[in-house]
Amino acid sequence: MNSQNTQNKFLGALNEKQAEAVTLKNQSALVLAGAGSGKTLVLTSRVSWLIQNQIVSPGGILAVTFTNKAAKEMLVRISSQLPINTRGMWVGTFHGLCNRFLRKHHTDANLPETFQILDSSDQKSAIKRVMKGMNVNEEMYPSKEAQYFINSNKDKGIRSEGVKPHDEHTKKLNEVYAEYERQCQREGVADFAELLLRCIELFTNNSVIRNHYQSIFKHILVDEFQDTSSLQYQWLKLLTSKESFIFAVGDDDQSIYGFRGARVGNMKDFEKDYKIKNVVKLEQNYRSKNNILNTANAIIDNNKNRLGKNLFTDSGDGDLVRQYTALSEVDEANFIIDEIKMLHREGLRYDQFAILYRNNAQSRVIEHAIVSNNIPYRVYGGLRFFERAEIKNGLAYLRLISNKTDDNAFLRIVNFPTRGIGARSIEQLQDLAKNNDTSLWDAALEIESKNEVTKKGIPFFVNLIRHLEDEIHGLSISESIDKIVEQSGLKAHYLKDKDGLDRVSNLNELVSAAVTFLNTVEVDNPDLNLVEFLNYTSLESGELQASAGEDALQLMTIHSSKGLEFDVVFITGLEDGLCPHERSLTESDGLEEERRLMYVAVTRAKNKLYLSLAQSRMLYGQTQYNIPSRFLDEIPEGLIKRMNTVEKSTTNTWDSFSQLPTSSSINREIPIGRQVTHSKFGIGMVIGYEGGENDLRIQIKFKSHGVKLLAMEYAKIEPI
DNA sequence: CCCGAGGACCTTTTT
DNA sequence: GGTCCTCGGG
């Protein structure tokens, strides 16, 4: 009776399609969930429904997401729907879950119990170290390329021995890959891709373990399925048997991570592989007004490669979308701030505004305008907490103490704060380690045993670490960090630094992060807790609840806006070359992915949507004159109001173009940045002039014919 | 060892 | 244009 009520409660909150998805019986399912269609609600309701109706116990559920944030949100929402302890449930990110499997079966996975996780920057320095040891020329083989080579192969499930190098260059890269694999194995560390690959190999090679998990997980749920890589899909397949089902939720129109291995094709494959009878489409949008939604629909309709979906809403037309053509990026920023100030005066909170851009470099000018108007703001992205140098340094002490073979950690701190161990001593250590085939720590031990301990040098370092290890024995993680920060000299070092106070306070925050962590973990084995904490710092970006709830403007790239919503959204830099980005045009599926990006951006808006572009834009130290984004042309006229500087104010007229920097001081009739039409080439934009008074040539970037240099005297062009 | 000059880099990003 | 890295002199 009681259970019936609870069940009705959460089923009652669903529309027909959502309920259909949630209550599917005995089958795998593909749910095409449009933007704002209640995707998370469906996912969590599905879990609750399965448990409520005793189709599966909490332990028989595996739910996978991409970010820790999404995983956490899911757990919170499930526990609000059901009075159960979610601790026993397997909910997490792909990497987090792999980590969990590998810890549990570390012996079978051929990893030490305390194996540590390398983040991308750790990985990069590890690769650099490998290349140095092999005497590989960094000029010819940049470490970045090697890193890309290694990761893209791992992401395809290919080990170095499986690579078939077709030229000398790849052959060399693959030697680096092979050596890197050996180094990681020796040091007991795993990079992100390794977690997944190692886990897949574990399941593939060990049928006992595979069968065990296949029989446990009856229902596997996957969020953001369109973002899964082929390796992740393979992982999912290994976890399912004939008796288990996958419930995949995704939106092919929001697939914007192709560049990092996401494979939208997994959706079609999944339909086939799991014999999906009917794909459930969630097309009712609960977020945006009609004009915004129709704008999004019109844009995405230009993509050929779609599963097909059309969002609708019954929330009314709302305001027209507004397009603003600015003179420059500064003008664009000022326009945005003016609009925000106006709407804020009308009572909108600052945190209900999002300013979106295609790349991070665009944020500077906007930030400048915000700062000079004294408005609070927050920029997403950038350095995360656990990626900060001082945090990584502090953690490296912990890492080394818990895993002496971690050479990365060793090198990071052996001379930090400086203690008289220069490049020479380190080289010596590395030679010794190489000859004895040991870790740097063991090499350091050998040197220590033969030398007197002084105030500096390697023997001093060895004893410092030993001392720290003794000191923190039996202490909690937070107390340990506190001790280490103090006694390693880190704190003193940063206090001396002129802008080191921030770093010291970050280190203090690390102590509180450890306290928070301990509160969320069941305390059984304190030693393993330390290892788990270290993994947590690698797997979790650590943005924490930092400045959440603060009433501030939200600045972020379009990519990081996915999944969020705001009352008012500004999409900036809508120029061809920026959005769509010029580099995307040469990639296969590039333009369509950019269009999906535009679609994601538009669908973030609830009530008001502004699209802005600049006729001239200073980017990377150069002024560009771009033509308006082709996506703007895809918006039907009835939905949008197009404005430019003339309409905005009387001080900024077309005349102000005469103040723009010019290549020469010739008398020209059409200002740079102005749009023109040509009888043959169509629409374009004036980007410059060449030649003298008698032979003036105008340079125009045309939408469909590229850049042309035309004789001013004869060119049949008309300003628009 | 520290600092400053000079050079290369610059799409998107989570784990 | 800004940042990050490297290298060389003090």
User: What is the CA A573 to C1' B4 distance in angstroms?
Assistant: 36
Contact, A359 CB vs strand B, < 7 Å: yes
Bases in strand C with any atom closer than 7 Å to a protein CB: 1-2
User: What is the CA A634 to C1' B9 distance in angstroms?
Assistant: 35
For the segment A535-560, what is each residue's pLDDT rounded down to a tens digit? Answer: 999 998 766 545 556 899 999 999 99
Contact, A620 CB vs strand C, < 7 Å: yes
Contact, A549 CB vs strand C, < 7 Å: no
Q: pLDDT at residue A683 above 70?
A: yes
Strand nucleotide closest to residue A580 (CA to C1'): B11
Residues of A belonging to the active site: 39-40, 223-224, 254, 604
Contact, A714 CB vs strand C, < 7 Å: no
Contact, A55 CB vs strand C, < 7 Å: no
- The mean per-residue pLDDT over the stretch A678-699 comes to 77
- The mean per-residue pLDDT over the stretch A18-39 comes to 94
Q: pLDDT at residue A6 above 70?
A: no
User: What is the CA A454 to C1' B4 distance in angstroms?
Assistant: 33
**Strand pairing category for A717-719 and A675-678:** antiparallel
User: What is the CA A258 to C1' B5 distance in angstroms?
Assistant: 40
Strand nucleotide closest to residue A418 (CA to C1'): B1
Contact, A584 CB vs strand B, < 7 Å: yes
- The mean per-residue pLDDT over the stretch A482-510 comes to 87
Residue nearest to nucleotide C2 (CA to C1'): A620
Mean pLDDT value across chain A: 88
pLDDT given at position A654: 35
pLDDT given at position A647: 55
CB-count exposure of residue A372 (10 Å: 0-12, 13-18, 19+)? exposed
Q: Which residue has the tokens 């999004």?
A: A296
User: What is the CA A370 to C1' C9 distance in angstroms?
Assistant: 42
Residues 6+ apart with CB under 8 A from A204: A210, A238
For the segment A54-111, what is each residue's pLDDT rounded down to a tens digit? Answer: 899 999 999 999 998 899 999 999 988 888 887 778 999 999 999 999 999 999 999 9
Q: pLDDT at residue A574 above 50?
A: yes
Alpha-carbon A603 to chain mean position: 19
- The mean per-residue pLDDT over the stretch A183-196 comes to 94
Q: pLDDT at residue A658 above 50?
A: no
A215 or A717, which is more confident: A215
Question: Do you know the residue count of chain A?
Answer: 720
**The pair of three-digit structure tokens given for residue A445, joined into one six-digit string:** 């031990």
Give the residue from A318, A279, A383 showing the smallest Cα distance to A31: A279
Bases in strand B with any atom closer than 7 Å to a protein CB: 1-2, 10-15
User: What is the CA A125 to C1' B8 distance in angstroms?
Assistant: 19
Mean pLDDT lowest among A257-266, A273-282, A375-384: A375-384
Contact, A587 CB vs strand B, < 7 Å: yes
Q: How confident is the model at residue A526 (pLDDT cuts 50, 70, 90)?
A: low
Contact, A581 CB vs strand B, < 7 Å: yes
- Phi and psi at A115, nearest 5°, equal -55, 145
- The mean per-residue pLDDT over the stretch A516-521 comes to 80
Contact yes or no for A643/A690 (Cβ under 8 A) = no
Contact, A364 CB vs strand C, < 7 Å: yes
A429 or A382, which is more confident: A429
Peptide bond into A636 cis (omega under 30): no
pLDDT given at position A268: 94
pLDDT given at position A516: 85
Q: pLDDT at residue A659 above 60?
A: no
For the segment A236-249, what is each residue's pLDDT rounded down to a tens digit? Answer: 999 999 999 999 99
Q: How confident is the model at residue A456 (pLDDT cuts 50, 70, 90)?
A: confident
- Model-level pTM? 0.86
User: What is the CA A94 to C1' B9 distance in angstroms?
Assistant: 32
- The mean per-residue pLDDT over the stretch A11-37 comes to 93
